Amino acid sequence: MKTIVIDPGHGGYDYGAGDGVRYEKDDNLRLGLALAARLRRDGYNVVLTRSTDIFVPLIDRSVISNTNNADLFISLHRNWAASPSANGVENFVQSGSPQTNAVYAWNVLSRLAGAGVQNTRGVSYDNFSVLRNTWAPAQLLESGFVTNAVDNMLFDRNFDAYVDAIANGIAESVGPPDQGNGGADANIIRGIQRTLNNRYGASLAPDGVYGPATKRGIVRGLQTELNRLYGANLIADGVFGPATRRAVRLLRRGDRSNLVYLLQAALYGAGYYLTPDGDFGPATETAVKSFQAADGLTPDGVAGRDTFSALFGAGGGSGSGDADGGNDSGNTDGGNDSGDGNGSGDADGGSGSGDGNNNVGNADIIRGIQRTLNNRYGTALAADGIYDPATERGVVRGLQTELNRLYGANVAADGVWGPATRLAVRPLKRGNRNNLVYLLQAALYGEGYYLTPDGIFGAATEAAVKSFQAANGLTADGIAGRDTFSVVFR
């Protein structure tokens, strides 16, 4: 079965290009959803990096593609220029990548040329993160300029033709979808429906169509199993509400139960085509990770309350992911971060979107961090470009020095993270600019969250903090306080 990963660029707080009325993130999502539907109808297995208006860190978009062993990755964008006369569609591939990438990009672009676009600007080469870090043949398509009125008009008027052209270019590149194995199999859905009828009295018509009634049947089965296994005392009514959410227990690789079967059935209905067998193996873990990442959850492969809530369209708690044992517990001190060090979070709210920890560090940036620590805090580090324990101790020493200077903390600047240093930490949040922010950024870089340390707590730093928090079972609110620093320096 051929797998296509579609990445609607930007999203959430990242609007992308815009003219004050129309924003790129919205056009990208609209096109991505339509393209996914078309390719699925054609029998391809399609994975979206996002299916709603959320922000997904760049590295997580590549991780989604890599973990799904994609045959092709396409990132959808609209272009921007200061001049309103700039126009046309353009496709990018990674500089120095195999020629296959350029061929695949040209296949899409050449099809678009006949779909009513104003102009084709050719296949270009660049060093974008989603191209650089994706293993599959990858392309980044700019489908016209959001700053050009004619491009916008053509995007809307010829939208269906654009979708067909891109889908046909993808099919030309990767070949047939292996229809016998790709897409939803009505026989598998019929099997799910019959199982729900036999085990839980769901009274479904085994028609091979995964609709609302089948989804309610799965929830009814879930409620029945939670009652049987854990004495949850739920009403088995097929409605996923607060009581059912609270009763959910974690499912992870190695589990074997009817609960796993119901999880697999729900994933199948959501377009993640694995065979429901009640065995939580590698394929199920991959499907869970892909679903979590696409829905703004921590892609840890552990299915808990937030994952089940997203599967069944129900609201859920703080939305920090399932990595915290399924409790979705956070420190509700409003950002004062007076937590007790148990890793429960730094403040309220937020939605975790991934672990951001799969890139390769830039040795020059680490050398810059090491030299800065030497110059500011006398750490005497070897500027070797390796983020090692000595460099981490240097970051802690800098943190201690700044806390003494700014707040009179009177902690020993010994590079050892302990209770006194933890107690002295003050929350850092978006809008802050100081050396403490620089040290936070340096520590995150050492953890694999690759932002440029500059001492400015902006959108990229907030996203990195949220990703780190979510990956470590903290409330993903983007505020770095005692619990976040404690995990960074654990």
Res 298 pLDDT > 60: yes
Confidence of residue 181 (pLDDT cuts 50, 70, 90): very low
CA distance linking residue 145 with residue 165, whole number of Å: 18
Residue type, 111: R
CB-side exposure of 125: number of CA atoms within 13 Å?
Answer: 9
Provide the whole-model pTM: 0.42
* Number of C-beta neighbours around residue 147 at 10 A: 22
Task: Please check whether residues 197 and 267 belong to one and the same domain.
Answer: yes
Cα angle 233-253-325, degrees, rounded to a multiple of 5: 55
412 and 465 housed in the same domain: yes
Q: Are residues 212 and 167 in the same domain?
A: no
pLDDT score at 290 = 79
pLDDT tens per residue, range 220-230: 999 999 999 99
- In the predicted structure, residue 255 carries a pLDDT above the cut 80: yes
User: 383, 376, 336: which is closest to 479 by C-alpha?
Assistant: 336
Burial string for 95-120 (b: 16+ CB within 10 Å, else e) reads eebeeebbebbbbbbbbbeebebebb
Do 117 and 194 belong together in one domain? no
- When pLDDT is cut at 50, 70 and 90, the band that residue 347 belongs to is very low
The predicted structure's pLDDT at residue 314? 55
From 311, 331, 352, give the residue that closes a domain. Answer: 311
The total number of structural domains that make up the chain: 3
Find out whether 228 and 191 touch, Cβ atoms under 8 Å.
no
Give CA–CA dist 188/196, Å, rounded.
12
Q: How far apart are CA 122 and CA 105, in angstroms?
A: 9
Asked if residue 25 has pLDDT above 60, the reply is yes
Can you tell me the distance from the alpha carbon of 155 to that of 88, in angstroms, rounded to the nearest whole number? Answer: 11
Please identify, among 174, 202, 231, the residue that sits at the C-terminal boundary of a domain.
174
Edge-to-edge strands, sheet with 72-79 = 45-48, 3-8, 72-79, 138-145, 89-94, 120-126
The residues near 238 (Cβ < 8 Å, ≥ 6 apart) are: 216, 217, 219, 220, 223
Looking at the structure, tell me whether residues 292 and 235 fall in a common domain. Answer: yes
Question: Does residue 317 fall inside a structural domain?
Answer: no
CATH no. for residue 384?
Answer: 1.10.101.10
- Is 339 a domain residue? no
Whether residue 459 is predicted with pLDDT greater than 90 in this model: the reply is no
Strand partners for 124:
92
377 part of a folded domain: yes
Residue 133 lies in a domain: yes
Say which range, 96-100, 128-132, 258-262, 314-318, has the weakest mean pLDDT.
Answer: 314-318
pLDDT at 180: 36
Residue 316 lies in a domain: no
Q: Please tell me whether residues 48 and 106 are part of one structural domain.
A: yes
- Give yes or no: residues 163 and 217 share one domain: no
Return the CATH number at 21.
3.40.630.40
Q: Which of 174, 205, 240 is the last residue of a domain?
A: 174
- Mean pLDDT check: name the lowest of 12-21, 224-233, 240-249: 12-21
Mark whether 145 and 193 lie in a shared domain.
Answer: no
Q: Are 290 and 68 in contact (CB under 8 A)?
A: yes
Under DSSP, the state recorded for 348 is S
**Predicted pLDDT at 178:** 65
Spell out the residues 6+ positions from residue 468 whose beta carbon is closer than 8 angstroms to its own. Answer: 355, 356, 444, 447, 449, 474, 484, 487, 488
Contact 88, 22 (CB under 8 A): no
| Same domain as 243, residue 297 | yes
Domain identity same for 219 and 154 = no
Instruction: Tell me what the pLDDT averaged over the chain comes to.
Output: 84
Task: Give the tens place of pLDDT for each residue, 115-141.
Answer: 999 999 999 999 999 999 999 999 999
* Percentage of the chain modeled with pLDDT above 70: 88
Is residue 292 one of the residues assigned to a domain? yes
Asked, for residue 350, whether it belongs to a domain, the answer is no
Q: How far apart are the C-alpha atoms of 35 and 102, rounded to whole Å?
A: 20
pLDDT tens-digit profile of 66-100? 888 899 999 999 999 999 999 999 999 998 888 88
If asked whether residues 33 and 164 sit together in one domain, one would say yes
Nearest Cα residue to 357 out of 438, 282, 426, 293: 293
| Structural tokens at position 69 | 């062993």
Domain containing 107: what range? 3-174
pLDDT value at position 344?
A: 29
| Residue 253 belongs to some domain of the structure | yes
Question: Are 37 and 97 contained in the same domain?
Answer: yes
Quick one: pLDDT at residue 331?
A: 26
